[in-house]
Structure 1
Amino acid sequence: MCRHLAYLGAPRSPAGPAFQAPHSLLVQSYAPRDMRGGGAVNADGFGLGWFADDGRTVRHRRSSPIWTDETVPRLAETVRAPVYVGAVRSGTAGMPVAEAACAPFADEDWLFSHNGVVRGWPDSVAGLAEKLPVADLLRLEARTDSALLWALLRHRLRGSADPVGEIAQLVTDVERAAPGSRLNLLLAGRDIVIGTAWTHALSVHAGADGVLVASEPCDDDPGWRPVPDGHLVVVRPGRPPSVETTALDAGRATERRQA
C-alpha cells in the first residue's frame, strides 16, 4: 500500500531517511514492517520531491523499484531542503504502473502523497469527481485513486487558506463515499506538513531543528511517536518546529478498531 515520509525543518538532505538509515525508505520498499495486509513489497515505482532554492517544487520519479535507480541516492545527497517528501509505491491491482502514478504529486506550491486505497474505485467516488472542473479531470496524471485524491485536494486548496481543514474534510468525504478506504495522506507546503493516519500506520520524530513524519520509523530512536488511527498531525516551522495532533473523527476510528 506504499510507504512515504515528509520532513520540515532546517535544510537537510533527504538521503538519510530515504537511503542511509537502518530502516530507510529504500529498505521499506522491499522489507516493510507494517503494511497491514496491503502487500509485501513496494516495487511499483518511487518518487522524491522537495522545495528548491527558488521556492518551487522539484521531483524525481520513476516507475521502477527504487533499488534499481543507481543515480537517486547520490542525487539525494546533493539536496539540502527545508521541506521534502519521499514515497515508494505498491500499486493497487488494476491500476497502472507508470511514472505518472507515483507520488509525490505536485504543483508549484504543494507536494502530495497517498498511502492506501479508495474502496470501490472508481464508482464509489464518482460523485466527488463530478464536482471537479472538467479541465482538472482531463489533466489527471494517472487513472488512479491517488491521482484523483490529489486533484480533489488541489482544487479545494485553490480557494482556501486552510489546508488543514481541507485535507481533514477530504478524508471525511472520501470515507463517507467509500467506507473502509485507507487514507494516509501527506501534504507538504513551504511552511507546513500535514499527515493523516486513517487505517494505515504513521509515526512522527520531532528533533530540535526538524520533524520527520513517516509510515514507519526509519531507525530505533526512542523519539519516534505513533500517530493514533483517525488522527491528523500538523508540523509548522519554529525553533523547535511545532507538532500538533488532533482527531479527524475519533468515534468512527474507534468503531473501526473494535470491528
Structure 2
Amino acid sequence: MCRHLAYLGPPRALAEIVTDPPHSLYEQSYAPRRGTDGVVNADGFGIGWYPPGDRAGPVRYRRAVPIWADANFPGLAHLLRSGAVLAAVRSASPGNSLEESAAAPYALGRWLFSLNGFVERWESLPGDTGESLSAADLLTMEAHTDAALLWVMVARRLTAGAPAGDALAEVARLTAAARPAARLNLLLTDGRAIAAIRRGASLHYRRTSDEVTVASEPTTDDRDWQEVPDQSLLLTTQHTAEIAPL
C-alpha cells in the first residue's frame, strides 16, 4: 500500500522532509513499518512543493521508478526548499496504470492530492455513487487509476466552492457506501492547510510550535506523533488541528 505525507512549516530542504528523517518516506518505500498490504512501494513516487514566495501554485516532480532508483532526486532534494510539501511513494493496485502520470500528487491550481489506499471496481464507481461526471470531467483524469478518479470527484467540489474538508468527506462517504471494502486515506493541501481522511490503513500527525506533518506512519521516533482515529477527518494548519468523525 502507498505511503504519503504532507508538511507545513518553515521552509526546509525537501531532503529534510522526505529522505533524511530516520523513518522517512524514502525508507517507507522499501521498509514500511505499518503497511497492511505489499512489501515495497516501488511503482513510482512524486513530490509536490510550493516555492517560497511563489503565488502561482505548486511544482511537481514525478517518476514511474522507485524513489531509490532516481539518481537525480537526492541532489534536487538537498537543493530545493519549501514550507509546504506533499509527497508520496506508490504501490499500484491491480487494474491501475503504471505510467509517470499515475504517481501522486495530482494537482489543480494550488491544490495537491494523494490517495493511500485502493478502490475495487473503481471504473464503475461514478455510476454506483450517483456521481454525474461529464466527458470533460473524465478527460481531466491524469491517469487510469482509482486515485485519479477520486481526485476528479474531489476537484469538482473544490471548484464549486466546497471547503476542503467537506469535499474530501463527501467523496469518502459516497465511495465507502458503494465500495465498503475501499481503503481511503486521502491527503489534500493548498500550501496553507492540510485536510486528510483516514478510512482503513494508518494515518498520523505531529505538530510543534511552528510546523505540522501528516503521514501514513511516523517518520521519527518522537513521542508527540498522534494517531488519527479510523473513520475520521483531520483538518490542520501550522498552528491548529481538528479531528471530526466522518
Which bin holds the TM-score, normalised by the shorter protein? over 0.9
- Judged with a 3 Å threshold, the aligned counterparts in structure 2 of structure 1 residues 129 and 146 are, in CA distance, closer, same or farther, namely farther
The equivalent residue for 1:15 is: 15
Verify: 1:35 aligned to 2:35, yes or no: yes
- For the structure 1 residues 128 and 140, does the alpha-carbon distance in structure 2 shift closer, same or farther, using more than 3 Å as the test? farther
Q: Deviations over 1:48-106 (max 9, x none)?
A: 00112322110000000000112112212222222110100000012111101000001
2:43 paired residue number: 44
Q: Deviations over 1:152-209 (max 9, x none)?
A: 1111100114111111111101101111100000001132101111101001010111
Distance, in Å, in 1 between the alignment partners of 2:191 and 2:217 is 23
Structure 1 residue 245, shift from structure 2 partner? 1.2
Partner of 1:92: 93
Measured on the aligned residues, the alpha-carbon RMSD in Å equals 1.4
Q: Would the alpha carbon gap of residues 236 and 179 (structure 1) be closer, same or farther in structure 2, given more than 3 Å must change?
A: same
Tell me the equivalent position of 1:83.
84
Structure 1 residue 6: Cα displacement: 0.1
Indicate if the aligned counterparts of 2:137 and 2:152 stay in contact, CA closer than 8 A. Answer: yes
Correspondence list, 1:66-81, <5 A: 66-81=67-82
**TM-score calculated relative to the size of structure 2:** 0.95
**Post-superposition offset of 1:21:** 1.0
Aligned to 1:204: 205
* Worse-matched range after superposition: 209-218 or 116-125: 116-125
CA distance in 2, matches of 1:163, 1:121: 22
Unaligned runs of 5+ in 2: none
Residue 161 (structure 2) aligns with: 160
Structure 1 residue runs of 4 or more that deviate by more than 3 Å after TM superposition? 124-130
Unaligned runs of 5+ in 1: 249-259
- Tell me which amino acid in the other structure corresponds to 1:192: A
Determine the C-alpha separation between the residues in 2 that align with 1:17 and 1:122: 34
CA contact (8 A) 1:43 1:64 kept: yes
Give CA deviations for 1:18-55 in whole Å, capped at 9, x if unaligned: 1111111111000011111x211100000000112322
Determine the C-alpha separation between the residues in 2 that align with 1:209 and 1:153. Answer: 29
Q: What amino acid maps onto 1:40 in structure 2?
A: V
Which letter maps to 2:243? T
Counterpart mapping for 1:106-145 below 5 A: 106-128=107-129, 131-145=132-146
Q: In the alignment, which residue of structure 2 is the partner of 1:247?
A: 245
Give, in whole Å, the separation in 2 of the partners of 1:31 and 1:214: 15
Contact kept, 8 Å, 1:129 with 1:152, in 2: the verdict is: no
TM-score, normalized by length of structure 1?
A: 0.90
Residues of 2 paired with 1:121 and 1:61: CA distance? 23
Cα distance in 1 for residues equivalent to 2:159 and 2:62: 25
Shift of 1:244: 1.1
**How do 1:159-238 residues align onto structure 2 when only pairs under 5 Å count?**
159-237=160-238
Give me the whole-angstrom Cα distance separating, in 1, the residues matched to 2:192 and 2:233. Answer: 17
Between 1:142-151 and 1:153-162, the stretch displaced more is 153-162
Residues 71, 124 of structure 1: CA spacing in aligned structure 2 closer, same or farther, 3 A cutoff?
same
**Contact conserved, 1:217 with 1:224, CA < 8 A, in 2?**
yes
